[in-house]
Amino acid sequence: MRSKYILLSLCTVLPLSAQDWEVGLFAGRQQYHPFVEIDDNSATFPWSAADKTVLGVRLGYSFWDLGPARMQATLGYQPSTSTSLNLSSNNSLGGSFAGSMGSYKESHTSAGLMCNFKSRVSAGVGLELRFEQLDVQFDQGHGNGGSYATKYVRPWLRADASMDIPTRMAKAKPFIGLEADYALVSMGTDQYRVSNTNGTKALAPKSQIGVDVGIRF
């Protein structure tokens, strides 16, 4: 809902002009933080979530020309993606209590600012605030049982490089590029339980790298 209000405000405040809008699709690998859970008896449980290919969409508007660079406001959305939640065999209960224990889900909406440098292969760097929804779902029969959900608001660093694809279209320019994103905030490894708020956050995504395709108009 927050992203809808931001988008409405953006469309209301910023004037329409040619070649200033950008709509893109991101496809790439998302990596997660490993996390060691320590219970009241000092038993250790190393958790991890498997890397996952994710899809996301982003809307951008270039609102300020700085000569060799342009400032761009962005809105993004990544639908819920589920990956395997794994417990390492290197835990206090031994190798028989290990393997996939359930699933870890993440989705987010975002708002950010980018500074894009003009050239044949343009490059950009910026910050993005992500409103993340995190969910842990344990398989039936697991000792902890059940599901756990929380929200996480974090700044992410974004960097990309892209180039336009030559076409005969006068008012639209397809583009393709590479993008890398990195979370600037994460939970430290402490005596959190994976089934509570801090433990669920400790497993949250730490980075993404992939390909952008879209249209500028």
* Residue 200 pLDDT exceeds 60: yes
pLDDT of residue 147: 86
- Give 16's DSSP letter: P
Residue 37 covered by a domain: yes
Mean pLDDT, the chain, whole residue set: 86
pTM exceeds 0.75 = yes
Residue 170 covered by a domain: no
pLDDT of residue 45: 85
Given a contact cutoff of 8 angstroms between Cβ atoms, the answer to whether 24 and 57 are in contact is yes
Query: Dihedral through CA 186, CA 153, CA 106, CA 100, nearest 10?
Result: 30
Residue 19 covered by a domain: no
Number of domains making up the chain? 1
Closest CA to 136 of 128, 125, 147, 127: 147
pLDDT of residue 12: 44
198 vs 189 pLDDT, higher one? 198
pLDDT tens by residue, 98-108: 788 899 999 99
Given a contact cutoff of 8 angstroms between Cβ atoms, the answer to whether 143 and 116 are in contact is no
Closest CA to 156 of 213, 98, 85, 76: 76
pLDDT tens by residue, 15-27: 444 469 999 999 9
Task: Give residue 137's domain range.
Answer: 2-12+33-160+179-216
pLDDT tens by residue, 162-181: 998 888 777 889 999 999 99
Which tokens in the block code for residue 143?
């000792």
* Residue 6 pLDDT exceeds 60: no
Residue 77 covered by a domain: yes
For tokens 């697991």, the residue is 142
108 vs 8 pLDDT, higher one? 108
Closest CA to 118 of 82, 65, 171: 65
**Whole-Å CA distances, 124 to 16, 62, 170, 176:** 22, 12, 24, 13
- Identify the band that residue 154 occupies on the pLDDT scale cut at 50, 70 and 90: very high
pLDDT tens by residue, 52-68: 999 999 999 999 988 88
Residue 118 covered by a domain: yes
Distance separating alpha carbons of residues 55 and 178, to the nearest angstrom: 14
Distance separating alpha carbons of residues 199 and 192, to the nearest angstrom: 5
Residue 20 covered by a domain: no
pLDDT of residue 105: 97
Residues across the chain: 217
Residue 98 covered by a domain: yes
